[in-house]
Structure 1
Amino acid sequence: MAFNPLRERGIPLDKQVRDWRELNVMPIDPDHSDPYTRCRIITMNGIEVEAIFFGHQLARHCPSVELKQQLARVRYIEAQQQKAVNWLLPGLASVLETTIAYEQVAVDLTAWVARMEPDPYLRQAYEFGVLEDFDHLYRYANLYEMIEHRKAEKIVDALTEVMPGRPTYLHHRDPMDNVREPYDRNSAAPISKLHALTIMSAEQQTMNFYMNVGPTYMEPIARQLYQEIGMVEEEHVTHYESLVDPGESWWEMLLNHEYNECYLYHSFMETESDPKVKSIWELHLNMELEHLRLAAELFKKHDGRDPEQVLAPELPAPVTFEPNKGFLRDLLATQIDYTTLGTGYVQDAHERFQRMQEAVMGGERPPSEQVIEDNQHKSGEEYRLETDGPHPVPSLRLHR
């Protein structure tokens, strides 16, 4: 049945504040929960963090004290939602285990979005990025085996394969080549706007996470690997945020943010296997319906348009976490040797790319390569999880 969040009534804002007991949610069991439940939690944490960050930026550009106060009330609820969502993660999990789950999100969420994206240019952006997150998962899985003596299959549960993608050392590009062309806000499909916000938010949270947890390790190779991949995540946020049309007004951006939260909470409520977690998705959806209503009123008042002019008349098909093994193997076979040039893509190294490689590498072997060699030496072989047999290794032209 069609669900139009603009026509649904949510919980009144003054009824949404929760006390500490209500926020003290029961975390999931890392040994018995569906790995995709953890992926949904990580995704919604990133979405809520983006909602909070965006709300603060909007407030900093808003001259009206009354508007700042209204935004602050909604933002406080978003902050409570973020705490409830993120605190669903188990304290038993190590930082590295959570990292591997973050990369599983990046792989399977981005792959799903790429498969569903109707715009060829935007789809290429997701296909390009996912091969790099796929390689990050492989590097962290080898670090995990080496320093915690455990295998990543316990975390990803064979839903996501672990094998080399586009090698991480090839992800270091001139910053100007990380900027893409934005969608056109007047002609882009509503789902394209939601996709861009979703992946931007997820990658931003991954960047934030690595920025903060990287130096908490004592092992030099762990600190170095988080530092290297953390810099790639900065590139990825640039890559994805540039897809959003900067011509959208603040009020249109707010409207899109709130609609996207409704879309994702509804999606995960429909697909969640854990009843306790599902109840949180349902509660937050009912909160977000009111946030959307308030954003729609601000949009009508300050933008002078009707929300139906820019939003989908009903929610698209639910965002679904599912295996994407065949899709990823096809990309590995056809796009592993891509890099970027300007706002497009090429298959050969170019002068700016080579200059950046020389500047970043400094003649040294990068941590992302060293971690594989170190694990081979310590464990006897590198770690891979290939559930459908070995994948063919295409030739790489970028390093020539």
Structure 2
Amino acid sequence: MTFDPLQERGIPLDRQVRNWRELNVTPIDPDHADPYTRCRIITMNGIETEAVLFSHHLARHCQDLDLKRQLARVRYIEAQQQKAVNWLLPGVSSVLETTIAYEQVAVDLTAWVARMEPDPYLKKAYEFGVLEDFDHLYRYANLYEMIEHRKAEKIVDQLTEVMPGRPTYLHHRDPFDNVREPYDRGGTEPISKLHALTIMSAEQQTMNFYMNVGPTYMEPIARQLYQEIGLIEEEHVTHYESLVDPGESWWEMLLNHEYNECYLYHSFMETESDPKVKAVWELHLNMELEHLRLAAELFKRHDGRDPDQVLAPALPPPVTFEPNKGYLRELIATQIDYTTLGTGYVQEAHERFEKMQEAVMGGEKAPSERVIEDNRARSGQEYRLETEGRHPVGSLQMSR
């Protein structure tokens, strides 16, 4: 049965404020929860954080006090939603355990989006980025084994493999080459707009997380690895945000944000295995339906168009967290040696890439390389989690 959020009624805004008892959600049990429940939590934290930040930026460009007040009322609810979602994560998990879960999100969410994306250019952008997140998972998993003496399968289960992707040191590119061509807001399918907003928001949250937790470690190699991958996450945000058509008006962007929240909460409500977490998704969906209604009214008033002109007539098939092992292995076998040049991709190093590599490396090995060497020295071998036979490629380096 199709679900059109524009035709559904949500909870009135004046009934959405929650008290402390209602916000005091019970966190998941990290030893028994489905790893993909944790992935859904991390995803929606990023989506709600983006909603709050976008609303702040819109308010800063808005002169009408009544509009600013309406944005502030909705934004406060979005902030409560973000707190409730993020506080579902268990306090007993270490920062590094949460980091590995963040990278599992990046791998399996981006891989799923790439598989479902109808636009070839956008699909390529997701395929390019996911091979880098795949390698980040491998580097953090080795750090986890080295400093906490635990293995990442405790976190990712057998759902996501842990092995090298595109080597992290090769992710440092000239910023000029991190900017992609945007989709055309007039001709792009609505699902493509939702995909771009979802992955941009998730990567932005990962960037924010790493830039804040990185210096909390005492171990030099941990501090350095978070610093290195944190810089790459900034590149990824640039990569994904540039896919969004900047010609969209503020009101169209607001409409897309609210529709995407409805889409994701509905998706996760449909696929969630934990009843308590599912109840949060259902509650938030009913709140977002009202947020979408208010955004649709603003869009009609300020853009003079009907929301049906830019939104899908019903929600697409649900976003699904599921294993992507075969798909990722195929990408590793065929696309591992790509880098970017301008708004496209090439399989050989170019002058800007080489100059950036020289400037960043400074004649030394990157922390992402040293963490593997250090773990081999301490543990006797590097950490990998391969569940479907031999890794399709060996140690890869870009052809020079």
Confirm or deny a common fold (TM above 0.5): yes
Q: Which residue of 2 aligns with 1:156?
A: 156
1:398 shift after superposition: 2.2
Deviations 1:256-292 (A, max 9, x none): 0000000000000000000000000000000000000
Q: Which residue of 2 aligns with 1:109?
A: 109
1:366 paired to 2:371: no
Moved more, 387-396 or 102-111: 387-396
Q: Is the 8 A contact 1:172 1:356 kept in 2?
A: yes
Q: Which amino acid aligns with 2:31?
A: D
Q: Percent identity?
A: 87
Task: Indicate the SS of the match to 2:340.
Answer: strand
Q: Which residue of 2 aligns with 1:325?
A: 325
Q: What TM-score results when the alignment is normalised by the length of structure 1?
A: 0.99
Q: Which amino acid aligns with 2:385?
A: L
Structure 1 gap segments, 5+ residues each: none
Q: Which residue of 2 aligns with 1:27?
A: 27
Q: Which residue of 1 aligns with 2:97?
A: 97
Partner Cα separation in structure 1 for residue 142 and residue 159 of structure 2: 18
Deviations 1:354-394 (A, max 9, x none): 00000000001100000000000000000000001121216
Deviations 1:226-251 (A, max 9, x none): 00000000000000000000000000
Task: Indicate the SS of the match to 1:244.
Answer: coil
Partner Cα separation in structure 1 for residue 332 and residue 227 of structure 2: 25
Task: Indicate the SS of the match to 1:36.
Answer: helix
Q: Is the 8 A contact 1:97 1:155 kept in 2?
A: yes
Q: Is the 8 A contact 1:6 1:289 kept in 2?
A: yes
1:396 shift after superposition: 4.3
Structure 2 gap segments, 5+ residues each: none
Q: Which residue of 1 aligns with 2:354?
A: 354
1:399 shift after superposition: 5.2
Q: Which amino acid aligns with 2:57?
A: Q
Q: Is the 8 A contact 2:347 2:399 kept in 1?
A: no
Task: Indicate the SS of the match to 2:295.
Answer: helix
Deviations 1:34-66 (A, max 9, x none): 000000000000000000000000000001111
Deviations 1:129-178 (A, max 9, x none): 00000000000000000000000000000100000000000000000100
Partner Cα separation in structure 2 for residue 130 and residue 226 of structure 1: 18
Task: Indicate the SS of the match to 2:345.
Answer: strand
Partner Cα separation in structure 2 for residue 278 and residue 351 of structure 1: 50
1:171 paired to 2:159: no
Q: Which residue of 2 aligns with 1:72?
A: 72
Partner Cα separation in structure 1 for residue 396 and residue 140 of structure 2: 22
Q: Matched residue pairs, number?
A: 400
Q: Which amino acid aligns with 1:391?
A: H
Q: Which amino acid aligns with 1:160?
A: T
Q: Which amino acid aligns with 1:301?
A: R
Q: Is the 8 A contact 2:167 2:396 kept in 1?
A: no
Q: Is the 8 A contact 1:349 1:397 kept in 2?
A: no
Structure 1 consecutive aligned stretches of length 4 or more whose deviation exceeds 6 Å: none
Q: Which amino acid aligns with 1:158?
A: Q
1:395 shift after superposition: 7.2
Partner Cα separation in structure 1 for residue 396 and residue 371 of structure 2: 20
1:385-400 alignment runs, 5 A limit: 385-393=385-393, 396=396, 398=398, 400=400
1:129 paired to 2:124: no
Q: Which residue of 2 aligns with 1:222?
A: 222
Partner Cα separation in structure 2 for residue 25 and residue 395 of structure 1: 44
Task: Indicate the SS of the match to 1:323.
Answer: coil
Task: Indicate the SS of the match to 1:340.
Answer: strand
